Structure 1
Amino acid sequence: MAVALTTLVEETDRYLNAVKIADYCPNGLQVEGRPQVQRIVSGVTASQALLDAAVEARADVVLVHHGYFWKNEDPRVVGIKQRRLKTLLSNDISLLAYHLPLDVHPEVGNNIQLARVLGLTVEGALEPDNPRSVGLVGSLEPPLSPSDFMQRVRSSLGREPLMIEGPDLIKRIAWCTGGAQGYIEQAVAAGVDAYLTGEVSEPTVHIARENGLSFFAAGHHATERYGVQALGEYLAKRFAIEHLFIDCPNPA
């Protein structure tokens, strides 16, 4: 079966409530391709490697978390931007990208999906008084030592996390996927035992140590693989079309 591109975009925008979420990039249809969609290829980032794989897979749409046209980037279509856009346009492939809407969604969002992968029980938002809060707070049942939880992260995500060891047991934990190390202050305020995100900055280590908090940096790419997969599966079932997730390895 096939679905009209306009119908697919409208449903995805509606499902993710994309119009109401302010962001650093345009969410939704970023590059328009053929009008009918039978196969979606999803991935974390619209890199050249993903685009080449999508061409080989005969995709009609590439669905990603990290797309193009970020605020303050060079607007010229040169270099890798020219090559990426040329690949999409010459093969009549559409690019659909959702950044923050895919982080915060309560069903297919990166943070809720990471909780399912790591076996975390969600209690609520990291910033309960902020309606646009991205991160979550939850619990580990049963509680685990930092080293045991690190092993769970390693085996679940297939990546060696950076760990700053805090309390003997992790009972409550906060997390926010991607480059959200700056939210560690909110994690401290939430009174959790540990905070997990994708990246780490130099001050993050000191903040964790001086507040007696365990900290885990499990990789920007590795923590954000699951939302786009779940969204792709939702669309495949909704419209009876094909979906293929392609993971282009990224150690960051």
Structure 2
Amino acid sequence: MTQDSAIFAKDITKFCDDYLSTASFQDYCPNGLQVDGGAGIKRIVTGVTASEALIDAAIQDGADAILVHHGYFWKGEPAPIVGMKGKRIRKLMQHGISLIAYHLPLDAHPEIGNNAVLAKALGLIITGALYPAEARPVGNIATCPPQSHDELCQTIETVLGRKPLYISGNRDTKISRVGICTGGAQDMIDQAAMMGCDAYISGEISERTTHSARELGIDYFACGHHATERGGIEALGKVVSEQFNIPVTFIDIDNPA
């Protein structure tokens, strides 16, 4: 590979920015290139979160870039690059590895986004937005053949490899209209109920979520933040691999949360 033909982090980022319509989002972190390792990119590792374990796996893989959903520099976090954050970034720089991250734009993409990928895997058909005013919704409404909560629980377990935490909304009817937003979106359960959903699927659960489900009469399935957000980044990696004709490897760092 010559210098002129080399692929660099800025090339990957430009493509992903356009593909995910990054400029359309107000996010809690910078989307795109977060750490420039400086090297031409011949191999990429993807993963949910840019943990030290993922960085170590990328080093072992010989990757020149890491593409993730959860990167660094979140709004409100301390600015100094010290401690855990310093150690992570130091490893990236020492090994010439670039870090590229996409948060809300990856949640919301209608084809390879976290919601879209999970919904398709669960046999749900997305029909609209949880918040109809959003041009690029990060939460969706989907339909499915009428089914019991036990049937949906079994499907989720089969797809994600883990049992969801199920909270009954004290309903007698079957589930056919479902709100879905992966990750830490448990508080959207109120909106899902207001939009007439029978059930709501997300990643995390809070103490208050249980009361909301029971009092609003909507079933809730907490399926794991990490588990619900594996699909989008793996799908984006495949798109990047096809676009640039370079190997991209998804590495799943186990996380029960």
Fold agreement, TM-score > 0.5: yes
In structure 1, which of residues 119, 124, 129 is the aligned counterpart of residue 128 of structure 2? 124
Count of aligned pairs: 251
Structure 2: which amino acid aligns with 1:238?
A: Q
Structure 2 contact 201–222 (Cα < 8 Å) conserved? yes
In structure 1, which of residues 67, 76, 81 is the aligned counterpart of residue 85 of structure 2? 81
Structure 2: which amino acid aligns with 1:156?
A: V
Is 1:13 equivalent to 2:24 in the alignment? Answer: no
Aligned to 2:110: 106
Structure 2: tracts of 5 or more residues without a match? none
Q: CA offsets per residue over residues 166-222 of structure 1, 9 Å max, x none?
A: 334111111100000110111011101100000111111111111221100000000
Structure 2: which amino acid aligns with 1:216?
A: F
Structure 1: tracts of 5 or more residues without a match? none
Is 1:233 equivalent to 2:238 in the alignment? Answer: yes
CA distance in 1, matches of 2:14, 2:224: 31
Structure 1: which amino acid aligns with 2:149?
A: P
Aligned to 1:147: 150
Structure 2: which amino acid aligns with 1:116?
A: K
CA distance in 2, matches of 1:3, 1:29: 14
Aligned to 2:194: 189
Which range moves more in the overlay, 168-177 or 39-48? 168-177
CA distance in 2, matches of 1:112, 1:93: 29
CA distance in 2, matches of 1:225, 1:33: 24
Residue 132 of structure 1 and its aligned partner are, at CA, apart by 4.5
Aligned to 1:161: 164
Aligned to 1:209: 214
Structure 2: which amino acid aligns with 1:67?
A: G
* CA-atom RMSD in angstroms: 1.2
CA distance in 1, matches of 2:42, 2:120: 29
- 1:9 aligns to what SS in structure 2? helix
CA distance in 1, matches of 2:66, 2:214: 41
Structure 1 contact 34–60 (Cα < 8 Å) conserved? no
Structure 2 contact 39–96 (Cα < 8 Å) conserved? no
Aligned to 1:67: 71
CA distance in 1, matches of 2:63, 2:176: 44
Residue 119 of structure 1 and its aligned partner are, at CA, apart by 1.2
- 2:128 aligns to what SS in structure 1? strand
CA distance in 2, matches of 1:25, 1:111: 19
Which range moves more in the overlay, 236-245 or 130-139? 130-139
CA distance in 1, matches of 2:137, 2:110: 12
Aligned to 1:177: 182
